[in-house]
């Protein structure tokens, strides 16, 4: 069997949080193209159902939507229960849900701070923890968390202290879980994308001036495309990455190198 065949995900059971649109949708589509069955988890249930239907229409896999708030333990537990009922097992968890609130640190309200930390960090922990319990029982599994280059640098000119702190936390959370669960054959890695031009980002009038500034500084003079995150996630989801755990993959067009 060649390396391309070995990288297939046929028979894998995967869920993607924040999977209705953007990076989550793009990566979920890649998982399905590689042969995996995929659950789309999102608070926007209507959009999640559209994404799942689109995947099923274009790929010979099972895809369905689950509504869940990753900051609510009961929601996460119910999501995992549904997944086990439908799939029988969980091979891969892509903990991707996240938000960003730009506000100067001296003006940021506690509610704004807490919302970002709750979704970006606590939500990743709760989701990875719940998936990890199932994977430990199975004796195998792969967890992929979405961090950010913002866990490595301080973005300018936008003020986003809570986002940067949350994503740095995701990186260290990933490494901690990886070490704890390595003896149990559960791998935990994260990706740290740079500025990615999702549909929502590119179509936001408020972000256009910022995008121009980012691209002026960026070594490649452009934002990344969601599709440029697909291959690393497929790799981490599959068996060819069996010795890869505790790693943080920075995909930023060398932005953090300057």
Active site residues: 148, 163, 167
Name the one residue in this structure whose structure tokens are 């790799």. 235
Tokens of 116: 């970002």
Alpha-carbon distance 120 to 163, whole Å?
8
For the four alpha carbons of 183, 237, 241 and 120, in that order, the dihedral sign comes to negative
Tokens of 248: 């943080």
Question: Residue 146's closest CA among 40, 41, 18, 20?
Answer: 18
Rounded (5°) CA angle 135-172-42? 55
Task: Report yes or no: 23 and 193 within 8 Å, Cβ to Cβ.
Answer: yes
Question: Residue 162's closest CA among 204, 221, 108?
Answer: 108
């Amino acid at each position: 069997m060649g390396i391309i065949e070995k990288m297939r995900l046929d028979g894998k059971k995967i869920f993607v949080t924040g999977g209705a649109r953007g990076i989550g949708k793009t990566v979920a589509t890649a998982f399905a193209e590689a042969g995996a069955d995929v659950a789309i988890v999102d608070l926007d249930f209507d959009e999640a159902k559209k994404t799942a239907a689109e995947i099923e229409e274009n790929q010979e896999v099972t895809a369905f939507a689950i509504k869940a708030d990753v900051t609510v333990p009961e929601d996460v537990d119910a999501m995992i229960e549904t997944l086990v009922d439908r799939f029988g097992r969980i091979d891969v968890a892509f903990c991707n849900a996240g938000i960003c609130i730009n506000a100067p640190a001296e003006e940021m309200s506690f509610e704004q701070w807490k919302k970002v930390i709750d979704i970006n960090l606590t939500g990743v922990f709760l989701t990875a923890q719940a998936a990890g319990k199932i994977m430990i029982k199975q004796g195998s599994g792969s967890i992929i968390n979405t961090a950010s280059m913002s866990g490595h640098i301080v973005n300018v000119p936008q003020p986003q202290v809570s986002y940067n702190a949350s994503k740095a936390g995701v990186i260290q959370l990933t490494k901690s879980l990886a070490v704890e669960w390595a003896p149990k054959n559960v791998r935990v890695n994260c990706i740290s994308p740079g500025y990615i031009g999702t549909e929502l980002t590119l179509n936001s009038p408020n972000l256009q001036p910022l995008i121009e500034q980012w691209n002026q500084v960026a070594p490649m003079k452009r934002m990344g495309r969601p599709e440029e995150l697909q291959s690393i996630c497929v790799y981490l989801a599959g068996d060819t990455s069996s010795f890869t755990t505790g790693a943080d993959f920075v995909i930023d067009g060398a932005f953090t190198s300057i």
